[in-house]
Amino acid sequence: MNGVIAAGAALGFIIGMVAGLAVLFLIRAVAGGSRAIASALKIVSQLLAIPGASLGGPWLGSQLFQSTDLTALLPPYAIALAITMAVVAGYPLAMFVVAFGRQVGPREARTPRT
């Protein structure tokens, strides 16, 4: 049981790091303009393929998790994933939302009233 909890937390950490880095690349691409989005999407698609490849692809991953109790694996996985994703991408994502709000806010304030 403790091994399943540790495995769930480790998987959540690994996938949280990869997903957090993918979000960071996408934030930078959106801030950089349309040319940066195409190159960032290539990088993000390669990043998101890492967890599947590190588990040996679909065959080994499915064989590996057949003997694992997923009800015990999912809670530590989800907690570790959420914490890792928040640590890696939380602050930059919040700053992006604030900057976007400042950029959009003045435009709406200038609209003529009818």
All structural domains of the chain with their residue ranges: 2-109
Distance from chain centroid for Cα 112: 40
Output the pLDDT for position 13.
Answer: 92
- Mean per-residue pLDDT, 14-41: 81
Q: What is the pLDDT of residues 74-110, one digit of tens each?
A: 899 899 999 999 999 989 889 988 888 888 876 655 5
Taking each helix axis from N to C terminus, what angle separates 70-109 and 2-32, rounded to the nearest 10 degrees? 20
DSSP element (H, E) containing 55: none
Output the pLDDT for position 53.
Answer: 62
